[in-house]
Structure 1
Amino acid sequence: MSDARIEAAWKRFQERLDSARPHEVAQELRDLFVPENVVEELLRRHELETTRIASLKEPLGLGRPDALPWYTGPRAGDKNWPAFEARVRRSLGPDATTKLDEASTRVVAMLDHPATPTFRSRGLVVGHVQSGKTSNFTAVACKAADRGYRMFIVLSGIHNSLRRQTQTRLIRDVVNLNPPLWHQITSPERDFVPPPNAQSFLASKDQRLLLVVKKNAIVLRKLRDWLEQAQEQLGNCPTLIIDDEADQATLATRKINPLIRDVITRLPKVCYVGYTATPFANLLTDPRDHEDFYPRDFILSLQRGETYQGPETLFGRHPVDGEDPEEVPGGLDMIRTIPAVELDDLRPKKATAAAQFEPAITDSLRRATLWFWIATAVRQLRGQRNEHSSMLIHAHSDTRVHDSYRAPLQDLRREVTEGLADGQPALLGELRRLWADESERVDNTRFGVARPSFEEIVQELGEVVDSTKIVMDHYRSNDRLDYDSGPVNVIAVGGNTLSRGLTLEGLVVSFFVRSSNVYDTLLQMGRWFGYRPGYEDLPRVFMPDEIRRWFVHLATVEEEMRKEIDRYLTEHKSPLELAVRIRCHPKMRVTAPSKAGAAVRSAAAYGGQLVESHYFPCTPEQDVQDWHNTNAKAVRSLLDAAYTEGRADLGVKSGRALWRDVPLSSVMDFLNGYAFHPKSVEASRSLMRQYIERRSQSGALVSWNVGVVGNAVQDEAHTVSLPGNISVGPVTRTRTKGSAEDDVADIKTLTGSRDEALDLRIPAGEAQMNRSRLQELRVQQQPERGLVLLYPINAKSQVPVRTKDGVTAEVEGRAPLNAPGEVVWGAAIVFPRPSQVGTDLAVEYDYLAADLREVFPSASEDEDEDVSVLEQDLDNDAEDGR
């Protein structure tokens, strides 16, 4: 290619950088058949140019204000990333490798250019629990090392087990793939021990330094003092600090927080990047303190893989703003209830009873353990004999409670081993029923895995049960989890050491009665999230009903939070311009109070929202019947008012009814009389009333439409009579299987995808509708007018049957409603978006967010009420290499 054409390509490259990223421009050139060697040359020239710029001004990574997009992605001549990429490709395949490449490139592009004279930035990467955060920061380290970063400090949790695990993985995935390029200052056996002559280590430009350091006061002081000895050399040593589990110990602790700050202040060229799946505390840190760890420069959210089983996959969630309720995940039928009557036999009533506590093998614990053995046998039949298989029992934080489980579990293992050997009919019948029940509840065919017969399973069970290890994993135990000595079947009983970072390999069954009402703590305890290749249908989680409902709320909070984070890139905002809001819960705390000391109540108004009832009490008690009767009375009063004071719309199809121009007073009377269940935290009667009153003061929401969504009458014996001689058939709404044994049915979604369009005209040709489009149409056609939708629900709704590919079956994951009476009434309220910009939206349901009103240096440290417990835990964890 001639010099003139190369220069023309270079000019085009520079012009396109105004609206596209370097790697995107490079791909455009490839699509125009520009030779690959020319594209590589242009990328090299671009990086040389940005290096020159970086030496003259303070650069900022992609997505930060005045961004200088210096990183173009991997290029020819790189050594660390290509080696790691090849390993990932062999183990995970090309698709997963491509996604890891793209995700890690986004992070590296946020870092400062290593040629910058000085820099000190802070960012946050939000992953998912048990979803490959380690792979991402390993890829980031490889790419940063290929571009000039020289020292890599990984802060790896507070326990030795996690630090060893992280160091071992980095040796395997980075150091051993390019040994001449790396020098390890720490090892799996030894945490940081200061090597002599720090200047010589830091002066060498040929090797990258790797330190995997526990967040421990003694270790961090050694690191700080060692760096202090080489201040002259550090000016030429760009450093990347990766803080794994960045919300733990780093924030609001008396010892650890100041020491990590001290380490950072010793480094003239340093990027600090926190990694966590539970960033609530990080997002609520005081942004005015420049030395603390609010992610002032960037925040990124990692995408989860399609096969990742996270909170919304297992528990389901509620819709967030702009979502079609029918497209929101309902959750797999994998959650099993631990009855409240069993809890006193599974955990001590109070902390003082821990020493004398003796657990029992309750019905649910027995069922969970038997299922673990069955599922492990199924995995072996599917060719996973050389894979680990684990069960987690998380009952309490006290190590004495952990130890008390050893004898009962050993007795159960002995009983089942002997029963299988003797062919005891009662045991075999129990196992057969358990396999039949559980294998029916989760369809194996949707995951493309085989379903063996019970006879095949029995042939494997004896060896599986007999080989199972029972391990108490806590800091006082000598018998810890060991996945490095070959395949193991293990039942692990533990608490804090199993709650953070540490991966339980091949986790199949989780038995969880540990109580916590803090968002981040509860999510981190959920070790059951992750990838389950080849056994996606087998995991089961046993927990009390209230905790299961909390996880549904957390799944909703997490989805909403990630949408907020994604706004940074789409709106070109920085974390100092736009604070991420986190929805609150009436019974749960977002994080420890000291970690949220600088947070303020934030906003999310009802404008544009759909509020609906999706919880219904279903016991035969009189107070439950009275609750439904009261709601029915409120519905009848609103329908009578709509008929007498509104205007009937006769254009709706059979099975539905609509009245327009219903006065606000009738709707307010309805809100006073109709009760949304307390679990519907977004449906606060007082907040909705306040919001409507505020809007009505400016002339909005003074007129409403009221509709009934039923079915066309097919059976005269089962009709619902409405004013005006209108009759409709009741609708079917079943409960989730997860709530089948609850006193309160969770139907997940009340409204259909087009129900909100009942009072709208749908333009011709628009067959597909989502909530965002419906909101647009409402602003255009029904400005400042709300809609109340009422649903007569068949109280005995049965699970519908659907035919797919010639096979007829019940809808998966649902159970009959079984509510009292014949009809229960559901309600949905559609709040239109304000049609006038600047409308007062002051009444909202509660959110927390960082306070950005006064972003200027002002240091103040709050006491953490959890500090003493945390730092005692740090001191208890045995120190390697002190």
Structure 2
Amino acid sequence: MTDPLFTLHGDVLAAMRRGPRPFAKLVLALSEDDDDPADTRLSHFRDRVLAAGLGDGLITLWHRTLTAWDLVEQADWSAAPARTDARRSDTYERLGFGVGLRKALDSVVPVFKEPGPTVISKEFVSWYSRDAAAARAFYWPAYERLLRRKGWPDTAVSGLDEASHAVVERLADPTRPEAYGARGLVVGYVQSGKTANFTGVTAKAIDAGYRLVIVLGGTLNLLRGQTQRRLDMELIGQENILRGADPADPDALVGIDYQDDADWPEKFVSHGGRPSALGAFDIERLTTRDDDYKSLLNGIRALEFEKQSRTEPLYAPANLHHAAARVMVVKKNKSVLAKLIKDLKKIGPILSEIPALIIDDESDQASVNTTDPKKWEEGKVARSAINGQISQLLGLLPRAQYVGYTATPFANVFVDPGDGEDIFPRDFLISLPRPAGYMGVQDFHDLDTDGGTAEETHVRGVYEDTGDRLQEALDAFVLTGALKLYRADLGVPAGPFRHHTMLVHESVRMAEHTALALRINSMWHQAAYTGREGHDRLAALLASDFHRFADDGLPMPESYEDLRGHVSRARRLINAGGTPVLVVNGDTERDYDQPDLDFERTPHVWKILVGGTKLSRGFTVEGLTVTYYRRTTRQADTLMQMGRWFGFRPGYRDLVRLYIGREESLGRTTTIDLYEAFEAICRDEETFRAQLTRYATPIDGKPQVTPAQIPPLVSQHLSLISPSARNKMFNAELVEIRSPGQWVEPTAYPVGAAELRGNVEAWGAVLGALDRTRVTLRCSAAGTGRDDSYEAVLGTIDHSTLLGVLCDLKWSVPAQFSPHLQSLVSAGETGDGIDDWLVIAPQQTSGRGAGANILGHGPLSLARRTRRRGDLFGAISEPKHRGVALRIAGALKDSGDPLVESLVRERRGVVVLYPLVEAEPRLGPGGTIDPGDVVMAFALVAPASAKAGQRNLVRFRAIDSSKDDFAVIDREEGRP
């Protein structure tokens, strides 16, 4: 029986498309029963809210509506920020709700306050209003309904609505007369649902008028096919796939690519008829699940658009909104893209009329130009294959909008902002929020704490003294499979758990994958999972590990005996087909066509997957519960993409385990802790996002900056791991090096007398702070028998004084020291970095050392040095000077010298002065020297204390070729 209150409220809320309006007035206007006063209806509503139970339809309706209003980023009916109590208060005010009803609704629909997307954007012409979007909405509402049917909560659907709207409104109006191609980048988290966002963007863009969509769907057939299937299932729909055939007619399904798909047709969106017959427009697929782009179907006629008004261009509204859309999902492959470009060139002038959208999934892979600028012909940019083909596509389609998607954006932001034909996100850069229910870095790393619950719960380190722990990982895989079955039998909402997988990733070498798979097979068959030995191991692991970290809200057996039967079922599922192990190393595409690995068409994948690179990007390992990871790399983006254990784990978050190498070899002499490496690159990622947030808030309704005005900085917290591959960093400029507790010694001093004199004069205040009394400093080097004592004069200056000096200095190669200077400036801006600096001027004790008065201060010893490479000196300092400086700055524990120990302060840095001459000094009266003959060299050590806010950090940004004020450095020499 229909609920009249639900029907009435549904009609009222449907009339509020533009935002909340006086509820009582709309009730009166829409109600046939004028004798029932509105305030009585509101009191009935309040009572209904207070008495509502689970699944109440009226509450569901209001939950959906209030959440949508909470999340609207730009609401013309409220000046209050989205996701705040103030926004909800404005909503109630406009609805005319009293205190009682407000409290009742807040109790069942609390304000969603999690952050939304972060947007750095150029100003854009507003064309895509909510009203405009709703007026032509067809594919987006269908996608929205599908997501709700799949169980997406209101907050997730409304959040996706806002995030995809933020992208589409920054594209060019598809009906605008002047052609313009926007360039944007959307940054998500690894395994966090970026495909849902670009599906939403595609749906809205097609509704708005974009008539050609090219999705660059990864570099593998399987990944391309996964993307095609996702768009077919959730956006394109049954009727467009069948192209008007009767789904009930078995003959109509012959040749349809989903006839063998377990989810066809029930889980594929249905539009209730062919869209063109329903007043909308059809979508024609130019690729299918199994067939990548070969050539335009039916030749170039496939892109012939029928025009209602033949005298007007396609982008004219009279034509555009009646034309069918074309969608193709294309692999990022040189030969495939070459065929597409060749076909497009045949089409002719109509290309300039087609509003097109290019979605580039995993846009940091293959899409970025990796050619060396040093090898370019003068005045001509050389492009790598895929980058060049994307550039050609954008050139052929002047109305094409390019939107890249990635979880590792570093390579993308190193693209030259001044190269108008490349893919730098000049128009917008959007960082998606961490989705609800997502397991990411915070779930595996206790950032900024020494140990904690995240690491203890999920991470199991593999050290030299622990052995490889592979058998324990296999046991954990069997045990967690049994626990999933146990929970499914008890009706956990996330169950039944369709897939259950373990990932073993040790090497990139395919021969090693085969050997490892054989070893795991052997271990499996010797594990005695059907005997007492195996059951005893599993019982011990349950008690020592999984009982300790169980989620209180999920079922957990009290004893192993309650689980024993489920262990047998799990073992049989894993062993189905005769082997528990699948090798997935991508030697050929056939490696991905194994039926046991098809998560979409296979009812249950319960396997141990052994692989390397091909398992680490784009490929979603469904049901991943146990990961055994020991592969090393030197690139942050590569390492982050290997984090397949990030993702959504409904109903089994507490069961997820990561076995990770803590002492792995990286080269012949270096050892790396992979867990710490992941933490460092996660810090890199969070620093990047925090920087975007800093600039995202508009000022006076206008953007603070655009991506091109301040190319985002990319951080490097661990020196062993660079942000990206070297061939993706040709255009990277080193901006900042934070190196607390490390000796920094610049050598690029100017040559000209005027510049040298200016540098000496800049140091005048520091020279004046030196005490003339000589002291002896010592820092014992234990076990060497070496005397590291030396004489010096000392002084103390505050941080601002040193910054004033350093900012006035001239350099022969400015970029050599500017990154270090930037770190000191940053420390000064935070206010909690550095208190003061101890100045040390080492003095010669032998008769050979010359002394001189400099600017009236002294005498100070002069060191004799020569330049070795152009304008650069070689080593300037003496090794024995370093120990004292490192100790005073907190980088060493004990000098063994009471005087040195008395100089130590927690937030104190050290500057060591080295007045140099390059020839025999010419001294004037009183031992004075012309400052133009002196190179005022120095070294410094910033405080090592964590409280100094100076974590080890390197930061890069893209060089903009259209500007001439960027300092360019040699990449090899500039490596940290």
| TM-score (norm: length of structure 2) | 0.56
CA separation of 1:226 and 1:69: change in aligned 2, threshold 3 A: same
CA separation of 1:845 and 1:466: change in aligned 2, threshold 3 A: closer
Quote the Cα distance in structure 1 between the aligned partners of 2:823 and 2:303.
65
Q: Is the 8 A contact 1:114 1:148 kept in 2?
A: yes
Quote the Cα distance in structure 2 between the aligned partners of 1:105 and 1:331.
37
Q: In the alignment, what sits opposite 1:516?
A: 633
Q: In the alignment, what sits opposite 1:190?
A: 291
Q: Deviations over 1:155-182 (max 9, x none)?
A: 0110111111111111000011346421
1:543 aligns with 2:654: no
1:395 aligns with 2:506: yes
Q: In the alignment, what sits opposite 1:436?
A: 543
Quote the Cα distance in structure 2 between the aligned partners of 1:166 and 1:554.
28
Q: In the alignment, what sits opposite 2:947?
A: 829
Equivalent residues in 2 for 1:55-134, closer than 5 Å: 64-73=121-130, 74-90=133-149, 91-117=151-177, 118-134=179-195
Quote the Cα distance in structure 1 between the aligned partners of 2:208 and 2:541.
56
Equivalent residues in 2 for 1:415-434, closer than 5 Å: 415-416=526-527, 419-422=528-531, 424=532, 426-434=533-541
CA separation of 1:702 and 1:309: change in aligned 2, threshold 3 A: closer
Q: Tell me the secondary structure at the aligned position of residue 155 of structure 1.
A: strand
1:25 aligns with 2:76: yes
CA separation of 1:703 and 1:515: change in aligned 2, threshold 3 A: closer
Quote the Cα distance in structure 1 between the aligned partners of 2:430 and 2:451.
25
Q: In the alignment, what sits opposite 1:817?
A: none
Quote the Cα distance in structure 1 between the aligned partners of 2:780 and 2:697.
45
Q: In the alignment, what sits opposite 2:935?
A: none
1:596 aligns with 2:729: yes
1:562 aligns with 2:700: no
Q: Tell me the secondary structure at the aligned position of residue 246 of structure 1.
A: coil
Q: Is the 8 A contact 1:611 1:829 kept in 2?
A: no
Counterpart residue identity of residue 94, structure 1: D
CA separation of 1:430 and 1:65: change in aligned 2, threshold 3 A: closer
Q: Tell me the secondary structure at the aligned position of residue 223 of structure 2.
A: helix
Quote the Cα distance in structure 2 between the aligned partners of 1:100 and 1:123.
17
Q: Tell me the secondary structure at the aligned position of residue 625 of structure 2.
A: strand
| CA shift for structure 1 position 406 | 2.9
Q: In the alignment, what sits opposite 1:145?
A: 206
Equivalent residues in 2 for 1:834-873, closer than 5 Å: 845-852=953-960, 854-855=962-963
Q: Deviations over 1:581-600 (max 9, x none)?
A: 12223111111112111111
Q: Is the 8 A contact 1:286 1:851 kept in 2?
A: yes
Quote the Cα distance in structure 2 between the aligned partners of 1:472 and 1:845.
38
Q: Is the 8 A contact 1:444 1:451 kept in 2?
A: no
Q: Is the 8 A contact 2:504 2:609 kept in 1?
A: yes
1:501 aligns with 2:618: yes
| CA shift for structure 1 position 689 | 13
CA separation of 1:166 and 1:689: change in aligned 2, threshold 3 A: closer
| CA shift for structure 1 position 430 | 1.1
CA separation of 1:522 and 1:233: change in aligned 2, threshold 3 A: same
Runs of 5+ in structure 1 lacking a partner? 1-5, 10-19, 36-60, 319-324, 343-361, 613-626, 631-644, 646-661, 669-683, 706-785, 791-825, 833-842, 865-882
Q: Is the 8 A contact 2:216 2:359 kept in 1?
A: yes
Q: Tell me the secondary structure at the aligned position of residue 603 of structure 2.
A: coil
| CA shift for structure 1 position 855 | 4.0
Q: In the alignment, what sits opposite 1:257?
A: 387
Quote the Cα distance in structure 1 between the aligned partners of 2:965 and 2:948.
44
Q: Which moved more, 1:243-252 or 1:426-435?
A: 426-435
Quote the Cα distance in structure 2 between the aligned partners of 1:223 and 1:856.
38
Q: Tell me the secondary structure at the aligned position of residue 681 of structure 2.
A: helix
Q: Tell me the secondary structure at the aligned position of residue 75 of structure 2.
A: helix
Quote the Cα distance in structure 2 between the aligned partners of 1:329 and 1:578.
38
Q: In the alignment, what sits opposite 1:307?
A: 437
1:464 aligns with 2:570: yes
Quote the Cα distance in structure 2 between the aligned partners of 1:688 and 1:288.
26
Quote the Cα distance in structure 1 between the aligned partners of 2:451 and 2:496.
37
**Rg larger in 1 or in 2?**
2
CA separation of 1:689 and 1:243: change in aligned 2, threshold 3 A: closer
CA separation of 1:846 and 1:188: change in aligned 2, threshold 3 A: same
Quote the Cα distance in structure 2 between the aligned partners of 1:382 and 1:575.
48
Q: Is the 8 A contact 1:154 1:211 kept in 2?
A: yes
Quote the Cα distance in structure 2 between the aligned partners of 1:302 and 1:89.
20
Quote the Cα distance in structure 2 between the aligned partners of 1:605 and 1:550.
18
Q: Tell me the secondary structure at the aligned position of residue 603 of structure 1.
A: strand
Quote the Cα distance in structure 2 between the aligned partners of 1:328 and 1:853.
46
| CA shift for structure 1 position 604 | 7.5
CA separation of 1:570 and 1:142: change in aligned 2, threshold 3 A: same
Quote the Cα distance in structure 2 between the aligned partners of 1:495 and 1:283.
27
| CA shift for structure 1 position 26 | 5.0
Quote the Cα distance in structure 2 between the aligned partners of 1:401 and 1:389.
24
Quote the Cα distance in structure 1 between the aligned partners of 2:958 and 2:516.
43
1:374 aligns with 2:479: yes
Quote the Cα distance in structure 2 between the aligned partners of 1:72 and 1:611.
54
Q: Tell me the secondary structure at the aligned position of residue 576 of structure 1.
A: coil
1:234 aligns with 2:318: no
Q: In the alignment, what sits opposite 2:67?
A: none
Q: Deviations over 1:790-833 (max 9, x none)?
A: 9xxxxxxxxxxxxxxxxxxxxxxxxxxxxxxxxxxx9543479x
Quote the Cα distance in structure 1 between the aligned partners of 2:298 and 2:780.
76
| CA shift for structure 1 position 369 | 1.0
CA separation of 1:329 and 1:375: change in aligned 2, threshold 3 A: closer
Q: In the alignment, what sits opposite 1:201?
A: 303
Q: Tell me the secondary structure at the aligned position of residue 396 of structure 1.
A: coil
Quote the Cα distance in structure 2 between the aligned partners of 1:184 and 1:217.
21
Q: In the alignment, what sits opposite 1:482?
A: 598
Q: Is the 8 A contact 1:315 1:330 kept in 2?
A: yes
| CA shift for structure 1 position 281 | 0.5
Equivalent residues in 2 for 1:317-328, closer than 5 Å: 317-318=447-448
CA separation of 1:191 and 1:312: change in aligned 2, threshold 3 A: same
Runs of 5+ in structure 2 lacking a partner? 1-15, 20-70, 80-89, 97-117, 238-268, 276-281, 307-321, 371-383, 489-494, 575-579, 663-672, 743-778, 783-793, 802-816, 839-903, 909-943
Structural RMSD (CA): 4.3
Q: Is the 8 A contact 1:316 1:555 kept in 2?
A: no
Q: In the alignment, what sits opposite 2:229?
A: 168
For these two proteins, the number of residue pairs brought into alignment is 599
Quote the Cα distance in structure 1 between the aligned partners of 2:566 and 2:453.
35
| CA shift for structure 1 position 315 | 2.0
Q: In the alignment, what sits opposite 2:460?
A: 336
Quote the Cα distance in structure 1 between the aligned partners of 2:626 and 2:827.
50
The percent of aligned pairs where both chains have the same amino acid is 29
Counterpart residue identity of residue 388, structure 1: H
| CA shift for structure 1 position 248 | 0.3
| CA shift for structure 1 position 33 | 5.0
Q: Tell me the secondary structure at the aligned position of residue 370 of structure 1.
A: helix
